[in-house]
Structure 1
């Protein structure tokens, strides 16, 4: 198995969107919108092209990771620039082969080399703790509602990056989409059935879990 991680190129776009749709369909809610998020974010001012990678197995794309600018806003309204990843995915056909780990590790290293302060993301803690992410509460970083959630995960990229800093995170609005836009975009793909499944309940529960 020959692995290669590289920056996404324009000719990859549709394939990446198809794979993202496969990977996320019915995972967090019936259907998915990640394929449209990726499609839309590429033209957004917050998109970080240099940190958006695809992973190939034997020359075929099987996954991707995408970064956008985010920030932490302190009480005095000072803004600290950070970055965030998501969507990140591996094709369901290639799960449990360590490819996601390779892709995330590679992108973190690239972000360190470019001198970014910290990565903030939302997800299941057990997915990201192995890379050194900790809950936002450890760094005095909350969600905009001022609450600390277990699903807000933070990774400083250099020594002292988040020292004497506290505030709330603001993620890029590149990640926000309109249901109608998603449905319209989705019509250009083969039809798939939207279903309710257990993973959606788990996600809902995890997303609202406070770090107390």
Structure 2
């Protein structure tokens, strides 16, 4: 089998949206919103096409990762640019075979080469700790509500990238699209049944978990 990671091209757009829909369907909510996010994010000025990759297996696109600009606003109101990724996904039948790791590691290395300072994301800690992500509490960076959550994590891309910054992370507005167009967009895909699953409650609990770790 031949694995190729390359930059996303316009010809990949629909395929990426299909994969994203399959990967996230009924995972966090009944149905999914991530494929709509993948569709809308590309028109944002915060979208970073030079860090948006697809993974091909024997010429078939089976995975994707998308990046956007974000910023840390310090206590003095100064803005410090960082980046974030998501959605990131692999077609479900290829889960737990290492393809997601390849995609994430490749994008991190490319972000370093391009001179970005740090990546800050939201997600399950056990997914991202292996890459070096830790709670942003370690770097005194909260969410805008002033709280530190275990699911908000940072990875400096060079030594000292986040030192001396105390403030809050602000993800791109592109990560919170107007979902009024979601239903119509979803109807352009084959019908799928929406279900309530245990993973939804698990996600709600994880998203609100406060980071009580000591990083001193």
What TM-score, normalized to structure 2?
0.97
Name the CA distance, whole Å, in 1 between partners of 2:112 and 2:75. Answer: 27
Within 5 Å, which residues of 2 pair with 1:1-212? 1-212=1-212
Q: Bigger CA drift: 180-189 or 56-65?
A: 180-189
Aligned length: 212
Gaps of 5+ in 1: none
1:181 Cα shift?
1.1
Q: Give CA-to-partner distance per residue, 1:127-169, whole Å, 9 cap, x none.
A: 0000000001001010010000000010000011011111100
1:12 Cα shift?
0.7
Name the CA distance, whole Å, in 2 between partners of 1:108 and 1:55. Answer: 14
Q: Give CA-to-partner distance per residue, 1:106-142, whole Å, 9 cap, x none.
A: 0000000001010000000010000000001001010
Name the CA distance, whole Å, in 2 between partners of 1:211 and 1:148. Answer: 6
Q: Bigger CA drift: 77-86 or 184-193?
A: 184-193
1:179 Cα shift?
3.1
**RMSD of aligned residue pairs (Cα, Å):** 0.6
1:43 Cα shift?
0.9
Name the CA distance, whole Å, in 1 between partners of 2:73 and 2:15. Answer: 36
Gaps of 5+ in 2: none
Runs of 4+ in 1 over 6 A off after TM superposition: none
What TM-score, normalized to structure 1?
0.99
1:173 Cα shift?
0.7
